[in-house]
Structure 1
Amino acid sequence: MKVTIITVCYNSSNTIEKTILSIQNQSYKNIEYIVVDGNSKDNTLEIIKKHEDKITKWISEPDKGLYDAMNKGISMATGDLIGILNSDDIFNSESVIEEIVDFHKRYDIDASVGNIVQHKENGKIIRLYSSKYWNPEKLKIGFMPPHPSIFFKKELFDKFGNYDLGFKIGADYELITRFFLKNKIIWKYSGIITTAMLVGGLSSSGSSSYNLITKEIQKALSMNGIEFSPLKIKMRFFWKIIGFLKK
């Protein structure tokens, strides 16, 4: 089974080398690694070229943003499974892809959903973001699993489409809604901690971002014909606190 890992980057010279080495150090070797650079202006390209032997395919050209770059990577992919590794993230262990492949071979599924850890620049882990209690119905109240923990069969993108460029920071939410809730793909929780993510991403950077993603969650559900309560989505922070206290 071939696994395609896609990294999109722009001006990522401070972090991308660790990301590339994280791929190289995987115990599973049938990996197609695709890097899509958005025409970086720093030393990102020099780092990519330095590690060209570890990268299957790479391009560097202007794009329309993160999701456009992801779509470019998907269009280049030839693997059976597709996963995303952001340019400031690393795999949580050297056996992650081997564990993912074993899991997909064990179960007849379209996608696996796992966990990630979030850490500060000094490496201190501040959060385990788990999908253990997640299910697609929770998309209706504003909760999705951690995007980097999901490994999809490539055929899903061929059948149901790629990331919608009409979203600024919520195209991953819309795609997960389209795949899991509208088209009811077969999925299973893997329990695998796939990714160590550096905190401070685009969709987790303050109240203005919270308001934008709230609007985009509602847009994602509406365009896929899913009934929902706007109030419950706006109040999702409180549901999260309640769920934490219950645990």
Structure 2
Amino acid sequence: MKVSIITVVYNGAEFIRDCIESVLNQTYTDIEYIIVDGRSTDGTVDIVKSYGTKVARFISESDKGLYDAMNKGIHLATGDVIGLLNADDFYRHNSVIENMVATFKRTDSDAVYGDMLYVDRLDTRKLKRYWRSGGYSDNAFLWGWMPGHLSFFAKRWLYEQYGGFRLDMKSAADYELMLRFIHKMKAKLAYMNEVTIVMRVGGISNSSLQNRLRANREDRLAWQLNGLTPYFFTFWLKPLRKIKQYISKPPETRDK
């Protein structure tokens, strides 16, 4: 099973090496690594090029933002499975892809997801948040559930058949895509009961009331665009579910 991992980056020289190394150090060998750069000016391009053919595909050109760049990477991908890893982030251990592929094969699923850690941007030993997705049940999205986007690995045919990220969405484009794949199109899911992704804090935040209200509007739009009807409380359960993520502690990783 060939796996395509896509990293999108713009001026990410500070942490891009950690990201790249976490992919190249995976024990699973049939990986196509694709990096899509938004025409960085801070040395990112030189860093990526220093890895030579270890990066299977590399493009550096202007884009329309994060999700446009992700769609470019998806279009370039030739793997059976596609995963996304942002330039600030890294896999928690070297067997993540191996374990993910084993889960696909064991469960014959269309998509696999796991858990995520949010850590301090500079000191990655400082835990900020633990996103334990837990197992999926039918209609879980109605109850505010969603998996962490970067822990989500999907068969390439899902993107080919149902499309990529909508560019008319902003921070909720990942939510809309998973809502479409999972809740609307009923993709068969399997849960990896382990932390797969470590994310540095500092991305788009919903911590302020203004940002939360904006996210709420986008969540509603995601349902409308797909012709779906949520419960009246769906959009408020979604942020409430995050509270536990700030007090829960993750299990120790087996592979350092």
Shift of 1:241: 4.2
Deviates more, 1:233-242 or 1:199-208: 233-242
What is the DSSP-based 3-state SS (H/G/I as helix, E as strand, rest coil) of the residue aligned with 1:143?
Answer: coil
Q: Which runs of 5+ in 2 are unaligned?
A: 248-256
Shift of 1:79: 0.3
Q: Which residue of 1 aligns with 2:123?
A: 122
Q: CA RMSD, aligned part only?
A: 2.0
- Distance in 1, matches of 2:184 and 2:146, equals 14
Shift of 1:243: 9.8
Q: 1:152 aligns with which of 148, 151, 154?
A: 154
Check whether the contact 2:135–2:191 (CA below 8 A) recurs between aligned residues.
no
Deviates more, 1:203-212 or 1:57-66: 203-212
Alignment of 1:81-92 (within 5 A): 81-92=81-92
- Distance in 2, matches of 1:203 and 1:78, equals 32
Alignment of 1:1-247 (within 5 A): 1-120=1-120, 121-123=122-124, 124-135=126-137, 137-204=139-206, 206-234=208-236, 236-238=238-240, 240-241=242-243
TM-score (norm 1): 0.92
- Distance in 2, matches of 1:30 and 1:141, equals 37
What is the DSSP-based 3-state SS (H/G/I as helix, E as strand, rest coil) of the residue aligned with 2:139?
Answer: helix
Cα distance change on mapping 1:224 and 1:12 into 2, 3 Å: same
Check whether the contact 1:136–1:177 (CA below 8 A) recurs between aligned residues.
no
Cα distance change on mapping 1:242 and 1:146 into 2, 3 Å: closer
- Distance in 2, matches of 1:118 and 1:242, equals 13
Cα distance change on mapping 1:136 and 1:215 into 2, 3 Å: farther
Deviates more, 1:145-154 or 1:233-242: 233-242
**Which whole-Å deviations, capped at 9, do the CAs of 1:65-101 have from their partners, x for residues lacking one?**
0100000000000001100011000000011111111
What is the DSSP-based 3-state SS (H/G/I as helix, E as strand, rest coil) of the residue aligned with 1:202?
Answer: coil
Check whether the contact 1:140–1:221 (CA below 8 A) recurs between aligned residues.
no
Cα distance change on mapping 1:97 and 1:243 into 2, 3 Å: closer
Cα distance change on mapping 1:229 and 1:3 into 2, 3 Å: same
- Distance in 2, matches of 1:243 and 1:15, equals 24
Deviates more, 1:227-236 or 1:57-66: 227-236
Structure holding more helix per residue: 1
- Distance in 1, matches of 2:196 and 2:206, equals 19
Identity, % of aligned pairs? 41
- Distance in 2, matches of 1:166 and 1:206, equals 22
Check whether the contact 1:112–1:188 (CA below 8 A) recurs between aligned residues.
yes
- Distance in 2, matches of 1:111 and 1:163, equals 16
Number of corresponding residues = 245
What is the DSSP-based 3-state SS (H/G/I as helix, E as strand, rest coil) of the residue aligned with 2:133?
Answer: coil
Deviates more, 1:200-209 or 1:107-116: 200-209
Check whether the contact 1:68–1:165 (CA below 8 A) recurs between aligned residues.
yes
Q: Which runs of 5+ in 1 are unaligned?
A: none
Check whether the contact 2:104–2:190 (CA below 8 A) recurs between aligned residues.
no
TM-score (norm 2): 0.89
